[in-house]
Amino acid sequence: MPENDKQSLSMVTCTAPVNIAVIKYWGKRDEDLILPMNSSLSLTLHQDQLKTTTTVACSRNFQQDRIWLNGKEEDISNPRLQSCLQESILWRLNDFDCNGTCTSMTSCSPNDDDDDVKIWFVLVYTLSQLFGVESEQLSAVARQGSGSACRSLYGGFVQWKLGEQLDGKDSLAEQVESESYWPELRVLTLVVSAEQKSVGSTSGMHTSVETSQLLKYRADVVVPSRMEEMIRVIRERDFPAFGELTMKDSNQFHAICLDTYPPIFYLNNMSHRIISLVHRYNQYYGETRVAYTFDAGPNAVIYTLQDHLSEFVQVVRHFFPPEVSGEEFFKGLPVCSADLSEELKKDINMEPTPKGIRYIISTKAGPGPCVVKDPNHHLLGADGLPKKSVISD
C-alpha cells in the first residue's frame, strides 16, 4: 500500500519484532533456499521494548538503489541483500505505478544489537507492503534474508515448519497461539558483559552441518518429538514443562556447537553462572519457575510468569550487583520491588559477581510487524535520503 502512488514518490515505514526461539533452528538442509534441517518455535517479543524500523522510499527520480542500516550506508552488492532485492525487483516489474528506484533506511531499538538478522526481515516486510505482496508469499521470501527471522511474521508463539517439498514452498512460518494466549508469561533479556566476538550464526551453522555427527540425530530424532511436546505444553500453559523443555533445547543447541569442528562457544563464564543461578532458584522451590535460553551469544533470555518476576529480578540484582542503577540497568516493563529471604540467598549459595550483567530488558509477548501510519516517523525524507535526525541518533 504505497502512501502516495499517484505522485512520483512512494514511501512506507514498518516496524518488526524480535523473536526468541524455545526450540532452536540450527542447520540448513538447503543453503540456497535457506531450508532448515528441523522445525523451530519461538515467542515474538513486544515491540514496545525491542523493535526494528524500516522506511522504504521508491521514486523514478532516484538515481540508484541505496540502503542504510542504523544510519550507516551499506554496500548494495551484499549477497544476502541482493537476495532480498532480487525478489523485490520481481515485485516491482509487476507494479507499473511503482517502477522506480528504492532507498531504504533501517534502525534497531535498542541500538546496540549487532545482529543483522532482524534488519533483513523488516526490509522484506516493508518492501512487501510497498509493493502490495500477498502475505502468504512473505514467509518464503523473508527466509532468503535470514531463516529464523521469518518467525517474526506473526505475534505470539510461532513455528517455522520444516516442510517436505524440495523447493521449500511449504517451509513456512505459522502462528501456534497469539500474543494474548498466555498473558502471565514474561521475558527478561540479561545482557552480559561483552567479551570477544564469537563465530556468526550463518557460518557457525554451516560448519555444524559439515562436522557435527550429533546434529543430524538432533534434527531427525530429537526435535520432531520436542516440537510436538512444546506445542502441547504451550497450549496447556504448563510453565514447568515449557521451561524445562526450553532449557533442554537451548543446552542441546549449544552442545551441537561444541560438537562442531572447530568447536563454537557462545556461552561464557557469565552465561554459565546465570544457568547455575536459574537451576538453584528452581531447586529451592522444587519446581521450574524460571527458564533460560541462549542464542548465538552469551546473553540470557529468561522466561518466567508474572507471579515470580519481581522476586527473580531481585535475585539477579543480588547475585549480579549492577554497576549502574535505575533505568540504565533495568529497562522496559517495570517490576515491583521484592525482598529476598535470607534462606533463599543462603540456599542459592553463589558468590555474587559484580557488574556481570550490564542491563536487563523486561518485556512480554507481542504482535507481528506493523505499518506505521504517522509520516513523522518515516526515517527517510522526500529526497530518499535519511533524515538528519536519524543519522545523528
Choose one: 174-182, 240-248, 336-344, 369-377; the region binding a copy of itself (CB under 8 A): 240-248
Choose one: 28-36, 68-76, 250-258, 372-380; the region binding a copy of itself (CB under 8 A): 250-258
309 binds a copy of itself (CB under 8 A): no
Q: Which of 351, 374, 388, 389 binds a copy of itself (CB under 8 A)?
A: 351
Residues 184-203: x where in contact with a copy of itself by CB under 8 A, - otherwise, as a string: -----------xx-------
174 binds a copy of itself (CB under 8 A): no
272 binds a copy of itself (CB under 8 A): yes
In order of 190, 316, 368, the CA distances from 292 in angstroms are: 10, 13, 23
User: Positive or negative CA dihedral for 145, 147, 153, 155?
Assistant: negative
310 binds a copy of itself (CB under 8 A): no
The answer to whether 186 and 231 are in contact (CB under 8 A) is no
User: Judged by CB, which is closer to a copy of itself: 80, or 216?
Assistant: 216
User: Judged by CB, which is closer to a copy of itself: 20, or 267?
Assistant: 267
289 binds a copy of itself (CB under 8 A): no
Q: Which DSSP symbol is given to 192?
A: E
The answer to whether 103 and 123 are in contact (CB under 8 A) is no
349 binds a copy of itself (CB under 8 A): no
Closest CA to 250 of 267, 233, 263, 235: 267
* 88 φ/ψ angles, rounded to the nearest 5 degrees: -70, -30
Quickly count: other Cβ atoms within 10 Å of residue 10's Cβ: 22
Paired with 55 in beta bridges are 13, 105
User: Judged by CB, which is closer to a copy of itself: 80, or 206?
Assistant: 206
Which grid cell is 335?
Answer: 517490576
Q: Which of 135, 261, 285, 327 binds a copy of itself (CB under 8 A)?
A: 261
Q: Which of 64, 77, 165, 213 binds a copy of itself (CB under 8 A)?
A: 213
Q: Which of 115, 244, 345, 387 binds a copy of itself (CB under 8 A)?
A: 244
In order of 6, 74, 343, 378, the CA distances from 238 in angstroms are: 52, 45, 27, 41
Choose one: 27-35, 48-56, 260-268, 315-323; the region binding a copy of itself (CB under 8 A): 260-268
285 binds a copy of itself (CB under 8 A): no
Largest alpha-carbon pair distance within the chain? 70
75 binds a copy of itself (CB under 8 A): no
355 binds a copy of itself (CB under 8 A): no
206 binds a copy of itself (CB under 8 A): no
H or E stretch including 143? Answer: helix 135-145
Pairing of strands 185-192, 290-294: unpaired
Interacting residues of 193 by C-beta distance below 8 A, sequence separation 6+: 270, 355, 356, 357, 358
Coil vs helix vs strand at 65 = coil
Choose one: 10-18, 81-89, 242-250, 324-332; the region binding a copy of itself (CB under 8 A): 242-250
User: Judged by CB, which is closer to a copy of itself: 177, or 238?
Assistant: 238
Whole-number Å distance between alpha carbons of 287 and 32: 44
Size of site (CB under 8 A) for a copy of itself: 32
User: Judged by CB, which is closer to a copy of itself: 136, or 351?
Assistant: 351
In order of 62, 107, 108, the CA distances from 391 in angstroms are: 20, 10, 13
340 binds a copy of itself (CB under 8 A): no
Whole-number Å distance between alpha carbons of 241 and 158: 18
Q: Which of 91, 181, 265, 329 binds a copy of itself (CB under 8 A)?
A: 265
Choose one: 11-19, 22-30, 52-60, 247-255; the region binding a copy of itself (CB under 8 A): 247-255
Closest CA to 344 of 306, 366, 365, 316: 316
Q: Which of 33, 214, 370, 391 binds a copy of itself (CB under 8 A)?
A: 214
118 binds a copy of itself (CB under 8 A): no
The contact set with a copy of itself (CB under 8 A) reads 195-196, 211, 213-214, 217-218, 221-222, 244, 247-248, 251-252, 254-263, 265, 267-269, 272, 275, 279, 351
